Amino acid sequence: MSHITLIRHGQANTGARDELEYDRLSELGHQQAAWLGDHLRIAGSHHPRVYCGTLTRHIETASGMAVGDAVQDERLNELQYFTLSQLLDEQHGIPIPQEREGFITHLPKVFDAWRNDELEGAPESFEAFETRVNDALQEIANESGPALVVTSGGLIAIAMRRFMDLNMSATARVALAIMNTSMHRLFPIGEHLSPVLFNAVPHLDTPERQFAQTHF
Strand 49-52 and strand 192-200: pairing?
A: unpaired
Looking at the predicted structure, is the pLDDT value of residue 172 above 80?
yes
Q: What is d(CA 62, CA 53) in angstroms, rounded to the nearest whole number? A: 10
Does the pLDDT value for residue 99 go beyond 90?
A: no
pLDDT, average across residues 107-111: 93
Q: Is the pLDDT of residue 14 over 90?
A: no
Decide if pLDDT at 105 tops 80.
yes
202 has pLDDT over 90: yes
* pLDDT for 4: 97
The phi and psi torsions of 47 (rounded to 5 degrees) equal: -135, 90
- Reported confidence tier of residue 80, pLDDT bands at 50, 70, 90: very high
Which pLDDT does position 100 carry in this prediction?
73
CA 8 to chain centre: 4
Higher pLDDT, 183 or 15: 183
Average confidence (pLDDT) over 116-128 = 96
Residue 19: band (very low, low, confident or very high) from pLDDT cuts 50, 70, 90: confident
Average pLDDT value for the chain = 94
97: pLDDT confidence band, cut at 50, 70 and 90?
confident
Q: When comparing pLDDT for 45 and 32, which is higher?
A: 32
Residue 15: per-residue pLDDT? 72
**What's the average model confidence in pLDDT over 138-148?**
95
Beta bridge partners of 71: 51
Report the SS3 class of residue 30: helix
pLDDT at 13 over 90: no
pLDDT at 140: 97
Mean pLDDT value across residues 79-104: 90
pLDDT score for 16: 67
**Measured distance CA(12)–CA(25) in Å, rounded:** 4
